[in-house]
Amino acid sequence: MKSLPEQLRSEIHMALELLEASITKFFNVKTADAYEFLKENNDRKQVFKKLSSLSKDERLSLARIFSCKMELINRIENSYRHYRISTKEKTVIKKPPYATIFVFTAHPTEARSSATLFYFERLEALFRKRFLKEVTDLDFKDEIGNLLAHILRNRLSKTNSPSVKDEAKLLCQVVLNQSILESQARFMSEGKSVLFRTWVGGDKDGHPYVNEKTLKDTFTISREYILKFIINKLQDEDTYWAMDKRKSGQKFSNRIRNAIKELSKLKIISKDDGDKVLRLKKVIIKLIDDVKKENESISRNLEYISNIIWLYPALVLQVELREDAGLVKEALDKKNGTIRKMLEYIKEVSGKYNPKWYARGFVLSMTESTDDLLSGIALVKDVFNKKYPIPVVPLFETKKALLEGTEILESAFKSDASILNQHRKDWEGRFEIMLGYSDSSKESGVLASRTLIANVLTNYEKFFKSHELTPVFFHGAGGSIERGGGSISDQTSWWPKSALNIYKSTIQGEMITRNFSDPLIMESMTHKIFSNFEKRVVNKDSKKDFSFIKEFSLNVAQKYQDLVSNKEFINLVVKATPYSYLDELKIGSRPSSRNKNKNEFKLRAIPWVLCFTQTRILLPTWWGVGRSFTELSSDEKLKLLEIYRRSPFLQTFVNVLGFTLKKVRISIFMTYLKELLNEDEFKYWSKEFADELERTNEFFSFLTGQDNYLWFRPWLEESIDLRSPKIDPLNFLQIHALKNKEFDLLRESVTGVACGMLTTG
């Protein structure tokens, strides 16, 4: 039974035919023949023989074609998402959460060719019109053919790494698009707070190119979009139409024109910028109030301006600073340290205005002691003349830190009573902590990471309640399952309700463009968060059940840690994944490794997941599950089955496990091993992986009673089936690139695989 709508499948089929018709026009016969060969053939020896017979340019052209093919499918699916959402009746939300906060990070899309992105955006918009029946068949096919011609002339990847400023430009172009800002303003008029923040420009942790200048760049770029929105609304004729001319006369028109002139002067951010913003905000708010008094109402435009001014109080996208806790301690003594200079810049531009409207928080990575937290607070107070205007947010990301977090906080509160007083008095009793998913998953695997976070969430909730504080849980989750991602329900089904009342999460990777470039898709995703909060009935696992799950997860974690600490496995990662060439990928402005010694195997969590996403094995989610399951007795297995049937937490994990297993392509991973390891290494590791995957499948089937990994989302299964074999040629090209150090080909293949997997990792 086919689950993808016929209309969607038909459009994808037609678009791929148009793409293939273009191949013979723009590439030589040898490349076109190789494309047909790779499309239909997965015999390892024949494939690599064929690739070796081609020139470097021909292989690169093939990578471009297959990458384009994957992104084409993505864009058509996104267009169909828009269409389906537009035909659905909106869910009425009577009780939304207090706030929904999205914190955007830099993402790999900046490393793509801007020209190609431009043409794909036009292509996606055209398919939206196609689904809405707004274009004729002939005009549509001609235009799609023209766009594909432009796309095929350009590589999808870039040869140079983006700068932090590049990342800020693309981010603001997406999330501060005029239609997205309008959606935010509309949400607020409906009593729903949807807030945007960013780490771009302020995330100093492990990033040598972030400083006070990147902060200014991000503020300047974001202000341009926010000012444009306000000015456009002020200039719109509906703004004037809503005023009663007999009462208002010319005076409001003159005041609006003056406000526009003053707004234009704010484009340049300089010292005491906050004072200027505050003065102008008062002028605009007074104007809106006067219009309302004289006309008994205001236009929707003026209402939206008022909302945007509330959402962006400094008329910039608020940045969240981040630095490693250890380096923050050093900054207390170093008067010229970068993070100190960044805080000093915030002080300089904010003037007498609240610095928090520029920098919403100061996240301390790797917080592992009370001293770490107190040092962060001391640095803020040192810069701001003993005041504490920007809340310090401890990031607990390792197992040790997550477990000891309440002790760290308790000790800090005892050491400095003013911390509690300030949070209660100035920040309405809210206290924020950040929970790291990526590092805990890298450290112990996905099941152990989520079990750990589920456990500590309950402990933190009790702790904050005992101190008369409202917890704000900031979830550092990525788009991929291995970094805490998944559907809204899968991510939150095991959270306490306090974690949903203020929903705050990082938005990383391709999820930024996928979910925020289209206002309808952004609104639909956000409505799911609202609905999840409104309908949520807290149905926690019993202590006894969770204790059994926890014990099982600890065994899984041990198996996972045994693997990733194995020197022979490290050798596999170095030789048979893109790990050794991460710096050649030019994916982002941040270095791939925190350590200066490039020969030392110590990856950031993001590149760690990238390696296993690219090789299609998605290791952190499932390794150790199978072995741990086989070690259970028959009675223990039956007990686990009983717990699964009533446990929201375990059901959620099994769902994301099924999604992951469906995306795993063991035959492709084996090809990496066969081509890039020696024969003995291949024999050993191929058996290890095949056996563990088979055991994990037994675990999945035993609990679910299903042979189908995605029985609960059949449309998703078909979507993966549609993509999966089409990614294979890109993996073959990537393996060839790794063997022969063809870095242009490696970059293009990594981009293409990421398009196919819907995540870089």
| Helix-helix angle 6-26:114-131, to 10 degrees | 140
DSSP states of 108-132? GGGGB-HHHHHHHHHHHHHHHHHHT
| Helix-helix angle 446-466:399-415, to 10 degrees | 20
The CATH number that applies at residue 336 is 3.20.20
Confidence grade of residue 366 (pLDDT, cut at 50, 70, 90): very high
Task: Tell whether 390 is covered by a domain.
Answer: yes
Portion of the chain with pLDDT greater than 90, in percent? 67
Task: Tell whether 92 is covered by a domain.
Answer: no
Residues 363 and 401 in one domain: yes
Contact (Cβ atoms closer than 8 angstroms) between residue 187 and residue 155: no
Q: How far apart are CA 342 and CA 359, in angstroms?
A: 10
Q: Give the position of tokens 């059901």.
A: 651
DSSP state of 395: E
Confidence grade of residue 607 (pLDDT, cut at 50, 70, 90): confident
Tell me what the mean pLDDT of segment 551-578 comes to: 95
- Over residues 711-741, the pLDDT tens digits come to 988 888 888 999 999 999 999 999 999 999 9
Task: Tell whether 93 is covered by a domain.
Answer: no
At residue 59, the pLDDT reads 97
DSSP state of 436: E
C-alpha to C-alpha distances, 501 to 196, 222, 470, 530, nearest whole angstrom: 16, 28, 10, 9
Portion of the chain with pLDDT greater than 70, in percent? 93
Task: Tell whether 5 is covered by a domain.
Answer: no
Q: How far apart are CA 325 and CA 239, in angstroms?
A: 49
Confidence grade of residue 597 (pLDDT, cut at 50, 70, 90): low
Residues 476 and 591 in one domain: no
Mean pLDDT score of the chain: 89
DSSP state of 541: P
Tell me what the mean pLDDT of segment 696-707 comes to: 96
At residue 540, the pLDDT reads 74
Residues 372 and 437 in one domain: yes
Q: Pairing between strand 359-365 and 430-436?
A: unpaired
Residues 704 and 583 in one domain: yes
Task: Tell whether 228 is covered by a domain.
Answer: no
Residues 717 and 750 in one domain: yes
At residue 488, the pLDDT reads 76
Amino acid at site 168: A
Decide if pLDDT at 241 tops 80: no
Decide if pLDDT at 244 tops 60: no
Tell me what the mean pLDDT of segment 562-578 comes to: 94
At residue 600, the pLDDT reads 53
Structural domain range at position 751:
543-757
Task: Tell whether 273 is covered by a domain.
Answer: no
Q: Give the position of tokens 């099941």.
A: 447
Residues 495 and 554 in one domain: no
Among candidate residues 535, 570, 596, the one where a domain is terminated: 535
Q: Determine the length of the chain.
A: 761
- Our separate counts of H helices and E strands in the chain read 36, 8
Confidence grade of residue 328 (pLDDT, cut at 50, 70, 90): very high
Tell me what the mean pLDDT of segment 561-578 comes to: 94
At residue 333, the pLDDT reads 85
Residues 508 and 409 in one domain: yes
- Over residues 483-521, the pLDDT tens digits come to 556 677 777 777 887 888 999 999 876 788 888 989 999
Decide if pLDDT at 291 tops 90: no
Q: How far apart are CA 761 and CA 757, in angstroms?
A: 9
Residues 497 and 573 in one domain: no
Residue 35, phi then psi, degrees to nearest 5: -60, -50
Tell me what the mean pLDDT of segment 522-541 comes to: 82
Tell me what the mean pLDDT of segment 431-437 comes to: 91
Radius of gyration of the chain (CA): 27
At residue 92, the pLDDT reads 84
Decide if pLDDT at 745 tops 90: yes
- Over residues 617-643, the pLDDT tens digits come to 999 999 999 999 999 999 999 999 999
Task: Name all contacts of 204-207 with Cβ < 8 Å and 24+ positions apart.
Answer: 204/321, 204/322, 204/323, 204/338, 204/339, 204/342, 205/322, 205/323, 205/324, 205/365, 206/324, 206/590, 206/591, 206/594, 206/604, 207/164, 207/589, 207/590, 207/591
Residues 446 and 592 in one domain: no
The predicted model scores a pTM of 0.92
Q: How far apart are CA 240 and CA 263, in angstroms?
A: 18
Tell me what the mean pLDDT of segment 242-246 comes to: 54
C-alpha to C-alpha distances, 124 to 72, 494, 599, 761, nearest whole angstrom: 9, 36, 43, 23
Decide if pLDDT at 596 tops 70: no
Tell me what the mean pLDDT of segment 524-543 comes to: 81
At residue 248, the pLDDT reads 55
Q: How far apart are CA 748 and CA 112, in angstroms?
A: 9
Number of domains in the chain: 2
Contact (Cβ atoms closer than 8 angstroms) between residue 322 and residue 202: yes
Amino acid at site 319: V
Q: How many CA atoms lie within 13 A of 625 on its CB side?
A: 28
Residues 692 and 746 in one domain: yes
At residue 403, the pLDDT reads 92
Among candidate residues 503, 535, 567, the one where a domain is terminated: 535
Q: Give the position of tokens 């717990």.
A: 643
What CA dihedral angle connects 527, 529, 532 and 533, to 10 degrees?
Answer: -110
- Regarding predicted confidence, which is higher, 501 or 115? 501
At residue 1, the pLDDT reads 43
Residues 477 and 559 in one domain: no
- Over residues 54-89, the pLDDT tens digits come to 999 999 999 999 999 999 999 999 999 999 999 988
- Regarding predicted confidence, which is higher, 159 or 178? 178
The two structure tokens encoding residue 508: 């990383």
Decide if pLDDT at 753 tops 80: yes
Task: Tell whether 6 is covered by a domain.
Answer: no
Residues 551 and 507 in one domain: no
Decide if pLDDT at 476 tops 90: no
At residue 100, the pLDDT reads 95
Task: Tell whether 274 is covered by a domain.
Answer: no
Confidence grade of residue 110 (pLDDT, cut at 50, 70, 90): very low
